[in-house]
Chains A and B, each alone.
Chain A
């Protein structure tokens, strides 16, 4: 640790920190464009220039004669940083004026407007007027730069974050600087676009609106987006994310820096893979064979058609009779009857897409009815192998210690969490594949799905599962998409996707992270936690914080959850209770 004085505020910072981080610790913002925590230092934007001096042991301060880039200067003990002197301010103003010289100022059509560092810093540190009287350098937009990214060349401030990202994090090195001086640009080699699986991150990295996501391009102005801290459900890495939504429509996911989970970035599979959430094919409400088909008519899918003209003025969705109480009541009675007649022929299948709380609710309820009820682990989707970055020149994966980002092969967020719950309640983990081979005679099934399979032809139900459940007397399915099972089921509960639920996911390394609902479930579908809460006849509302404490007290391997609020970074399961703050 070293003691640094930022604007006369004394702070303790780590030995590897630079002055930007030191100032941050002191609550002082030093503006910067090119510096990024996860990337190498180039100190080229010259926005973070500050005055630096040294506090001698005798207490005198010797200030340096020059402005110094804060990003490049290590926070040595006794360093004195001044960020508000006239010299620094003039420097910031000049740098901003330089940066804006050739910037087109087309904020009105720029997707970055509202979260743009040029805007923010100009507002805070810049001058109101540019003295440029000459025409700006104009450049062509490059839509070809990547499948998912477009480069608005003239907005670029040449911070080279994107270039460094492709060299240092993805290792694919597609992006580069071409030309020189004020006409230099970011570009790719001809016919070698930036299409690596992490390419979407350059959009987040870009401090201005130069690199834009084609997927999000012009969809919404960012000031209308409301963010919710969540966890990506794409794979078992469990990237911390922000879900940006407006009017219950998720527009984009953004990575949220989490040193415990994935670092600063996320992969494009996760970033763009949330689209199934707003599929029109979703189950829309509870259905039951005995009561008339319930739920919302298929016509009321207007909620998803966010891009229909004049939707603002359409009358609200038709009033819907709430069929949930009846459906849940019926399910409860049928489960009870089935368990009472033969407990060992009742099986519940848990999906690794469930949250810990949901798994706990269902497992404790069923085991509470009878100890002999079978709890099975549902199919765990695994695709290929773990994909590690940065790739080397040949495109092969790096060694373990050099790996900076991994896309996991296990395409589900919470296998570990569900396993821990099942192990606790049943002692051993029984995958469904084993169960349907070994033990026949299961008469009643409770299936939980939740897999991202918007197209039912490639649903998660394997032929063997479908076959094994054919003779069932009772089939209850809780899922988000229709499947072979849901079509045959006695009762179907329409659940919610990960952006619509509250809960806890435990990732591949045992990091428990809380995710929170960003949007409401579509139409008459319901968050799974709420369904199960009601099914179990529990008092009060579904409350994850309360449930985590309860789980921690019941399941020793999940004791770390006893903090309730898992914080923004989550809690590692091996951590002792109380050590985490």
Chain B
């Protein structure tokens, strides 16, 4: 190295050195260099699995797998205690959906029907294209009233595209079936949306529990 180099040049040189990072080949030892032991090891592992390990294959149609509780399968529309569709047609799921597979058409709740008297808005239609859906669960996240949930139903099949477009009745029937079977209990329950959509309110005598369930 020449002594005439200025400190700046030295620094530049240092920096230059640092710009390229060499990834050294791993040093191999004698045994590794022979290859054969490693090959033998590999073969031994393979053979061990072939002959001594238990097969983990599940015979699917006969053996049904048990899905974890957060599995994201076919959607359902939940019902409230009175059997009405829980959805208030806020379009949050439709807005959140990255695949644009949800289509809601809202309508004022039938005011002359006493069953609906304490509800303002309800989904006249609620359609999900299960083929377009990517099962990301955003709709479930977005739902302020926990009306839409993804069930653990994974084996969704159909003979036509039209068949895979689920309407409100179909989605509600998914709820009826899954909740009846007890497989997919309503997982989240954040309570009422507010007085405009739900009449029942907590009584004043007991302060609401801290943390979850608080509204307002």
Interface string of A133-146 (1 = CB under 8 A from B): 11110100101000
Contact A313 B195 (CB under 8 A): no
Whether the pair A310, B127 counts as a contact (CB closer than 8 A) is: yes
- Please determine whether A309 and B167 come into contact, CB atoms closer than 8 angstroms: yes
Check B207–A309 contact: CB distance below 8 A: no
Q: How far is the CB of B172 from chain A (nearest CB, A)?
A: 14
Say yes or no: B103 contacts A106, CB within 8 Å: no
Residue B90 at the chain A interface, CB threshold 8 Å = yes
How many interface residues does chain A have, given as a range? 20 to 34
* Closest A residue to B198 using CB positions: A106
Residues of B with C-beta under 8 A to A108: 88, 90, 92, 144-145, 193, 197
Contact B125 A309 (CB under 8 A): yes
B2 surroundings in chain A (CB, below 8 A): none
Say whether B121 faces chain A, with CB atoms less than 8 Å apart: yes
Q: Give the Cβ gap from B97 to chain A, nearest Cβ, in Å.
A: 11
- Tell me if B208 and A133 are in contact (CB < 8 A): yes
Chain B residue at smallest Cβ distance from A209: B196
Instruction: Report the minimum CB–CB distance from B98 to chain A (whole Å).
Output: 15
Contact at B197–A106, with CB atoms within 8 Å? yes
State the CA gap A467–B103 with chains docked (Å).
50
Complex Cα distance, B106 from A223, in Å, reads 15
Q: Does A217 contact B (CB under 8 A)?
A: yes
- CB-based contact B105/A155 at 8 Å: no
**B107 interface residue per 8 A CB criterion:** yes
**B194 CB–A CB distance under 8 Å:** yes
Q: Which of B92, B127, B144 contacts A312 (CB 8 A)?
A: B127
CA distance A223 to B92 in the complex (A): 11
Say if the beta carbon of B215 comes within 8 Å of chain A.
Answer: yes
Q: Do B165 and A310 touch (CB < 8 A)?
A: yes
Asked if residues A133 and B207 are in contact (CB atoms below 8 Å), the reply is yes
By a CB distance below 8 angstroms, the chain A residues around B165 are 310, 313
B19 at the interface (CB under 8 A from A): no
- Give chain B's interface residue range (CB within 8 Å of chain A): 35 or more
Report Cα–Cα, A309/B106, bound state, in Å: 11
**Is the Cβ of B107 less than 8 Å from the Cβ of A218?**
yes
Given contacts A221-B95, A307-B105, contact A134 B204 (CB under 8 A): yes
How many Å from the CB of B84 to the closest CB on chain A?
A: 14
Partner of A105 from the list B88, B207, B216 (CB cut-off 8 Å) is B216
Which chain B residues in 166-216 approach chain A with CB under 8 Å?
Answer: 167, 193-197, 201-202, 204, 207-208, 215-216
* Nearest-CB residue, chain A, relative to B103: A312
Query: A104, A106, A130, A307: which has the most chain B beta carbons within 10 Å?
Result: A106
For B201, the chain A residues whose CB sits under 8 A away are 135-136, 138
Q: Does A109 contact B (CB under 8 A)?
A: yes
B124 to chain A, nearest CB (A): 8
B104-122 to A contact mask, C-beta < 8 Å, 1/0: 0111100100000000110
CB–CB A104/B195 < 8 A: yes
Which chain A residues lie closer than 8 Å to B215 at the CB level?
Answer: 105
Contact of A313 among B129, B197, B204 (CB under 8 A): B129
By DSSP majority rule, is chain B's interface helix, strand, loop, or mixed? loop
With a CB–CB cut-off of 8 A, which chain A residues contact B167?
309-310
Say if the beta carbon of B89 comes within 8 Å of chain A: yes
Which of B91, B161, B167 has most chain A Cβ within 10 Å? B91
Which chain B positions have C-beta within 8 A of A141?
Answer: 120, 196
Residue of B nearest to A108 (CB): B90
How far, in whole Å, are A104 and B195 apart by their CA atoms in the complex?
6
Chain A 112-150 interface mask (CB, 8 Å, partner B; 1/0): 000000000000000000101111101001010000000
Of A133, A219, A223, A312, most B-chain CB atoms within 10 Å: A312
Cα A155 to Cα B204 in complex, Å, equals: 21
Distance from B212 Cβ to chain A, minimum over Cβ atoms (Å):
14
Residue B202 contacts which of A107, A135, A307, A310 (CB distance < 8 angstroms)? A135
Among A110, A138, A143, contact of B111 (Cβ-Cβ < 8 Å): A143
Most chain B beta-carbon neighbours within 10 Å: one of A133, A134, A219, A221: A221
Contact (A106, B194) CB under 8 Å given A130-B216, A136-B216, A313-B127: yes
Chain B residues with CB under 8 Å of A35's CB are: none
Q: A109-B88, A130-B216, A309-B105 in contact; A104/B127 too (CB < 8 A)?
A: no
Shortest beta-carbon distance, B155 to chain A, in Å? 22
Contacts of A105 in B (CB 8 A): 194, 215-216
- Cα-based distance from A110 to B106 in the complex (angstroms): 12
Alpha-carbon separation in the docked complex, A143 to B145 (Å): 24
* Complex: chain A residue closest to B91, CB-CB: A221
Q: How far in angstroms is the closest Cβ of chain B from A210?
A: 11
Q: What are 9 of the A-B contact pairs (CB < 8 Å)?
A: A106-B197, A109-B193, A132-B216, A133-B207, A135-B201, A310-B165, A310-B167, A312-B100, A313-B127
Q: State the A residues within 8 Å of B (CB).
A: 100, 104-110, 130, 132-136, 138, 141, 143, 152, 154-155, 217-219, 221, 223-224, 307, 309-313
Which residues of B are at the interface with A, using a C-beta cutoff of 8 A?
A: 88-92, 95, 100, 103, 105-108, 111, 120-121, 124-125, 127, 129, 144-145, 161, 165, 167, 193-197, 201-202, 204, 207-208, 215-216
